[in-house]
Amino acid sequence: MASEELARKLERRLRREEAEEGSPLTAPLGAPAPEPPARPPTASADAELSAQLSRRLDINEGAARPRRCRVFNPYTEFPEFSRRLIKDLESMFKLYDAGQDGFIDLMELKLMMEKLGAPQTHLGLKSMIKEVDEDIDGKLSFREFLLIFHKAAAGELQEDSGLMALAKLSEIDVALEGVKGAKNFFEAKVQALSSGSKFEAELKAEQDERKREEEERRLRQAAFQELKANFST
């Protein structure tokens, strides 16, 4: 008897607490428990949905920045540059990538501009990086480094900007390296020529050069073996 009275008191107390909290009443003892209410979406889910909707809106309005593939191929992304020019620019990039992490950071860019004879202020260096920093990480990747020369060739840089000084003062002779055959790199525009056939011709030339080197090495080895055999007889 006392246990039944205690159970009723507990049930009334639970009902009162649930009513104060605004939650649904508990089913009487012995009755099946009601299903819990649906949990509201978390803040992270709301943020993710909001980001997706914002990007979709930007895409529809043409304002979204294209997402780049993880695999970067400079020959296909910058077809206006010859293979030799890209390799020379890569050598220059690696020369100033003191940390050898695949990036040129603010201090490395500062050293580069000083060696090129065009030192920049701290704000000037940050402005240079910002102009081509597509992933907004505060440093230059090789793709962003090539973008400097692409913008210079296309006339998209201010004449007195730090990036234009970098492009002009680099020791790479673009007239000889070739940007679609342009006589002057800074007068060159991205000309609509057949980049595919040019790429194939350069690739074939490299393959022929490697074959010649291998043939010369084979002949030298054969001559050495013949000389060795003459001495052993």
Alpha helices in 99-182 (DSSP H): 106-115, 122-132, 142-153, 162-169, 174-177
The domain segmentation of the chain, as residue ranges, is: 74-169, 178-232
Residues 102, 196: contact at Cβ < 8 Å?
no
Q: Which helix (H) or strand (E) holds 15?
A: helix 2-21
Determine the pLDDT at residue 35: 57
Q: What is the pLDDT along the chain (233 residues), one digit of tens a residue?
A: 555 776 677 677 767 766 665 544 444 555 555 555 555 555 555 666 666 667 666 666 655 555 555 688 999 999 988 898 999 999 999 999 999 999 999 999 999 999 999 999 999 999 999 999 999 999 999 999 999 999 988 889 998 999 999 998 886 655 444 454 444 444 444 443 344 556 667 777 788 888 888 888 888 787 777 766 666 66
**What is the C-alpha separation between 93 and 162, in angstroms, rounded?**
16
Residues 154, 189: contact at Cβ < 8 Å?
yes
Instruction: Say if pTM beats, i.e. exceeds, 0.75.
Output: no
Residues 153, 79: contact at Cβ < 8 Å?
no
User: Which class is domain 74-169?
Assistant: mainly alpha
